[in-house]
Structure 1
Amino acid sequence: MAAPTTAPIDLSAAMVMAPTALADWLVIAPMGLMITLGAVLMMVRHKLHLHGWIAIPGLVALVILDGLLLWRVAVDGPFTMTAGRWLPPFGISFTADLLGALLAFTSGIVALAAGIYGLRDINATGRRYGFFPFLMLLMAGVTGAFLTGDIFNLYVWFEVLLISSFGLLILGSERQQVDGALKYAVLNLIGTTLFLIAVGYVYAIFGTLNMADIARKVPEQRDVAPLLTLSTLFILAFAMKAAAFPVNFWLPASYHTPRVVVSALFGGLLTKVGVYAMIRVMVMLFPLEREELSLLLAIAAALTMVLGALGALAQSDLRRMAGFAVIAGIGNVVAGVAIGGQTGISGAILYALHSIVAMTALYLLAGEAARIGGSWSLQTLGGLYRQAPGLAVSAFVIFFATAGLPPFSGLWPKIIILKAALDIGAWWLSAALLVSALILTLTLGRVFLLAFWRPQLASAVGEPVSPATWHRSGPLVGLVAVLVFFGMFPDLPVRLSQGAAATLLDPTAYIQSVFPTGGAE
């Protein structure tokens, strides 16, 4: 029988012994806040009058937390917090770098806008079905995906946002919502399954799921493991999530079915989580494999942006048109990933930030146009300029920004990606970028001429529409202000996007934030 020992056990090799700095809690505070508020809203689910009073201050707090997180990362560089005080790669790490913090902050802004708009867009039935709790959980999933440092937990946060998005999609249980949800669910579950299979292969190859640890071990496994096959599987899974060609047909079949505020959230956020995952995995973890697959990515990007723009041109329904505009924008981001390098990746990041705001604003604009005009169809809309001149001004800004025309936010990322394509001699990809922009300009110009500039049709004249409240006009004006500000003053977002791209291309700072002393191999 072994004698008892009183020798002290040295835990420093396995656990973080120093107390966690208060500022380090910023990396998990947004998810904790959203999950807590979602639980509180569920507990008061029968007291519908309290939902807005709980959710909107919570979303304001989310923006503040995300802003503080971005400020800290911009000043001090990436930082990491590991759950349970276990040292990585054993503990589950949350790592904030410029890419994740930028996307989290921008997502918080549009979530706040959508939450305020939902105060009037979502009726009592929608609130009783759980709009605000689902919104909180959606933002927990989106933010968690942007900030996790563990590739399996990236999958977990995908599941959190997908489950909450299913609830939002069928809010109201109308027949077309259930039909759209079925298409949305099937394709996203296939993509999620492919992602999980790829994660299993990652663990089999590297023996770790920590992304910083994977980045350290990729060079030594490149000659003995099928990393190109693994990368292709990741690209296919993320392309489904991002709605890139040829697996993008589910988006226009489903995004037009829910309430417009839900469509705005989906168009602004969900596809961006897919492109974020593609950027994070392919640029930071598998850069050489990304380069080998760059031609495939570039072809998919060109087809995504051109076919998305053509799909938008063919639509007369405003919501369907917005769905195809989302797809066209995804093509621009994938083009930047395909081009690679500092310029291409920074252009892709900047376009993703712009698209989060612009696509949310585009859907909210469509909702206001339909509310005032009494229809979603361009065949019956007209006279909106006279009925709502302020809405017409907002439409002008949003349409220019979406098409990438000066002087608004969509111009700069398109210029950066176009320059990157020309620098590597990919003239055909440059042509696809310009053709897509031209088609989107024609599409949105047609919408403006028919819905706003054309006189109101006699057959469409109905009951007077109540003026917009601040709940409806405030979020749209706020998002338009963001598009104008970053179009007129692009220096800060461009510099931040370049810094995010530099961290991805050289992940030394990211790895050191996870393994500050080198860590165990």
Structure 2
Amino acid sequence: MRYLVPLPVVMPLLGAALTLVLARRPVAQRMISVGVLTITLVVALLLLLNAHWHAPLVVRLGGWPAPLGIVLVADQLAALMLAVSAAVTLCVLLYSIGEDQADPGVHAPVVIYHPTYLVMTAGVTNAFLSGDLFTLFVGFEVLLSASYVLLTLGGTEERIRAGTTYVVVSLLSSLIFLTAIALVYAATGTLNLAQLVGRLDALPSDLRLALHGLLLLAFAIKAAVFPLAAWLPDSYPTAPAPVTAVFAGLLTKVGIYAIIRTETLLFPDRRAAEVLLALALLTMLVGILGAIAQSDIKRLLSFTLVSHIGYLLFGVALASGPGLAAAIYYVVHHITVQTALFLAAGLVERRAGSTHLDRIGGLARVAPLLGVLFLVPALSLSGIPPLSGFLGKLGLIQAGVSVGGVMPWLLVGGGTLTSLLTLYATTKVWSLAFWRQPRLADPEEPTRLPRLMVGATTLLVLIGLGLTVAAGPLFEVSTEAADDLRQRLPYVRAVLPEGKP
């Protein structure tokens, strides 16, 4: 099974090279891209089953033993993130193919879209599998380099302006991350995560805190944690619908994944717990207050994206087994549901000609399926029982109550208020865009929705519903992953031959 571990990185890169060579054959490009992501999804599911039933799979590239060589590690957390990201990227790819078939070359030039999309996928999977800080940095840079191109597809003034902001913020976070890597190596002599477990523990507490703060700052920018999230609502809504969807679903979660990995494996002493709890509360409230003030669906969803990052940070900051397990489950839920909502917003824009709430209405009557595709993930995001959003939030609230203390209780109250305000924001979209009298520009000749776009969105909505049906097994995987993260030794023993950091 070890040979499967590098495939989620290697396959997209090979696919990107092939699609670039076949730039003048769009049909071949589409077939290769879909095939590559399908194989990646199957491999990710196999890795998840192996990690759940057996032990983490570790591959030492080039045969070099850790910590000398590059190590890829597929434990339960990494494999779970691989599986959900592969499912989401495949659905978004199918959506974008349907969009391009309906309007060839208008939204995303197919010549560069497929290679860049696959490179971005490789960067995401590389980040999840990384067994050392520098390989994690490389994964971030690969996905960010590809995202620059995807964000500015079409070269419009609005997209270039948004892309410039995105580039500046991303380069700043990368510079901070690279500085932290240099300091960690200077202090410990290694960047291997398993080996850092012992060496960071041996450092003076003030030095550990400084290294901890730098890494956390870099990842917080990438994850759009308040007050470092102002760039996101201005950047994401300008991109083509499938690009916005995959960005919203995945890119910030790579930052959250890095926070989970480092907070549990490298810095388990909880010295930053109070700060993380405060940031989680502010991220929730500021994000959702920004959402309810919006009159454009895509900007509103961008602010809810920021807001719900606070829930993920809440579970990590609690540093308890139930809190971490609920956070992992909520990551899976949020990737799926947020992506589905942005795909539905793309369908709204195509059907009504706009996503501005003052210009549209009556979509539930003229496009009832579209209404369902928006309503189901919106209710899940709002935490309506028995959907996955409710289950994830309930797990986080229960974990906060069990930990106790002033800040956890404030987070419980803030999370409940944020959930109610999320329901208000999504209800506003429903009542204005779907429920009131039609305001379509030409209701006699409405724009038809391509079947592949609708099918891809439907598939992702069904996957979101599947998270509710399979909540028991998924919470079991999340709980075991959380236990392994908190114990640290299973990871160290899997990576280091001698089992000692």
If the length of structure 2 is used for normalisation, what is the TM-score?
0.96
Q: Tell me if 1:278 matches 2:259.
A: yes
Q: Does 2:367 match 1:388? A: yes
State the SS of the aligned residue for 1:292.
Answer: coil
Q: Percent identity of the aligned residues?
A: 35
Q: Is the 8 A contact 2:134 2:181 kept in 1?
A: yes
Which residue does the alignment assign to 2:133? 151
Cα drift, residue 370 of structure 1? 1.4
Deviations 1:46-102 (CA, angstroms, capped at 9, x unpaired):
222322121111111111111111111111121211011111111110011111110
**For 1:60 and 1:83, how far apart are their aligned partners in 2?**
24
Post-superposition CA distance 1:8-29 (Å, at most 9, x none): xxxxxxxxxxxxxxx1011101
Deviations 1:272-295 (A, max 9, x none): 00000011011111111xx11111
Amino acid at match of 2:471: P
User: Could you give the per-residue CA deviations for residues 255-302 of structure 1, whole angstroms, max 9, x where no partner exists?
Assistant: 0111010000000000000000011011111111xx111111111111
The answer to whether the 8 A contact 1:155-1:195 is kept is yes
- 2:70 and 2:401 map into 1 onto residues whose CA distance is 41
1:428 maps to 410
CA-CA distance at 1:219 after TM superposition: 2.2
Q: Are 1:407 and 1:488, in contact at CA under 8 Å, matched by a contact in 2?
A: no
Conservation of the 8 A alpha-carbon contact between 2:121 and 2:143: yes
Residue equivalent to 1:102 = 80
Contact 2:350–2:447 (CA under 8 A) maintained in structure 1: no
The within-5 A match list for 1:99-248 is: 99-122=77-100, 123-124=104-105, 126-223=108-205, 226-248=207-229
Aligned to 1:8: none
Amino acid at match of 2:448: P
Q: 1:169, 1:177 within 8 Å by CA — same for their partners in 2?
A: yes
1:494 maps to 2:472: no
SS at match of 1:405: coil
Instruction: Report what 2:70 is aligned to.
Output: 92
Q: What is aligned with 2:48?
A: 70
* 1:304-383 paired onto structure 2 within 5 Å: 304-383=283-362
Q: Which runs of 5+ in 1 are unaligned?
A: 1-22
Preserved contact between residue 191 and residue 237 of structure 1 (Cα < 8 Å): yes
| Equivalent-residue separation in structure 2 for 1:177 and 1:511 (angstroms) | 44
1:83 to 52, 55, 61: 61
Q: Following TM superposition, by how much is the alpha carbon of 1:516 offset from its aligned partner in structure 2, in angstroms? A: 3.3
Q: Which secondary structure does the structure 2 equivalent of 1:30 belong to?
A: helix
Paired residue type of 1:382 = G
Aligned residue among 203, 208, 232 for 1:251: 232
Which secondary structure state, in structure 2, belongs to the residue aligned with residue 95 of structure 1? strand
Match of 1:19 in 2: none
Following superposition, the deviation at residue 217 of structure 1 comes to 2.2
The AA in structure 2 aligned to 1:516 is: P
Distance 2:488 2:74 in 1: 12
Alignment partners' CA distance in 1, 2:204 and 2:489: 19
Superposed displacement of residue 197, structure 1: 0.6
For residues 397-416 of structure 1, the aligned pairs below 5 Å read 397-416=376-395
Specify the alignment match of 1:269 in structure 2: 250
The alpha-carbon deviation at position 128 of structure 1 amounts to 4.2
Q: Tell me whether 485-494 or 203-212 shows the greater mean CA deviation.
A: 485-494
Distance 2:70 2:374 in 1: 44
- Tell me, in whole angstroms, the C-alpha distance in 2 between the residues paired with 1:259 and 1:119: 12
Does the 8 Å CA contact 2:99/2:450 hold for their aligned counterparts? no
Residues 322 and 50 (structure 1 numbering): CA distance in 2 closer, same or farther, change over 3 Å? same
The aligned residue for residue 491 of structure 2 is 510
- Quote how far apart the aligned CAs of 1:488 are: 3.2
Between the aligned partners of 2:126 and 2:311, the Cα distance in structure 1 is 25
| Runs of 4+ residues deviating >6 angstroms | none
Mapped contact 1:129–1:171 kept (Cα < 8 A): no
- 2:352/2:447 contact within 8 Å kept: no
Distance 1:136 1:210 in 2: 27
Q: Distance in 2 between matches of 1:518 and 1:358?
A: 39
Residue in 1 aligned with 2:437?
455
The answer to whether the 8 Å contact 1:79/1:510 transfers is no
Tell me the distance in 1 between the aligned counterparts of 2:352 and 2:178.
Answer: 45
Equivalent residues of 1:48, 1:127 under 8 A apart: no
1:366 aligned partner, one-letter code: A
Q: State the shift of 1:222 in Å.
A: 4.3
User: Which SS does the other structure have where 1:287 is aligned?
Assistant: coil
Match of 1:445 in 2: 427
Q: CA deviation at 1:124?
A: 2.1
User: Secondary structure, in 3 states, of the residue corresponding to 1:80?
Assistant: strand
Code of the aligned partner of 2:282: L
1:357 CA displacement: 0.4
TM-score, structure 1 normalization: 0.93
Q: Alpha-carbon deviation of 1:120? A: 2.5
Question: Could you tell me whether the CA contact under 8 Å between 2:264 and 2:485 is conserved in 1?
Answer: yes
Q: Could you report, residue by residue, the CA deviation over 1:369-428 in whole angstroms, capped at 9, with x for unpaired residues?
A: 111112111111111111111111222211111111112111111111111111222211
> Match of 1:352, as an amino acid?
V
Provide, for residues 324-360 of structure 1, a one-character-per-residue CA deviation record: whole Å limited to 9, x for no partner: 1110111110111111110111111111111110111
Listed one character per residue, the Cα deviations across residues 158-211 of structure 1 (whole Å, up to 9, x for unaligned) are: 000000000100111011000000111111110111111111111111111110
Amino acid at match of 1:363: F
How far apart, in 2, do the equivalents of 1:179 and 1:129 lie? 23
Counterpart AA for 2:428: R
- Unmatched runs of 5 consecutive residues or more in structure 2: none
Is 1:47 aligned to residue 19 of structure 2?
A: no
Distance 1:485 1:361 in 2: 13
Work out the number of aligned pairs and report it.
494
Deviates more, 1:346-355 or 1:153-162: 346-355
RMSD: 1.4
Separation in 2 of the partners of 1:518 and 1:413? 34
**CA offset at residue 462 of structure 1?**
4.8
**Superposition deviation, residue 221 in structure 1:** 2.1
In structure 1, C-alpha distance between the alignment counterparts of 2:463 and 2:185, rounded to whole Å: 41
* Residues 46 and 128 in structure 1, CA contact (< 8 A), matched pair in contact too: no
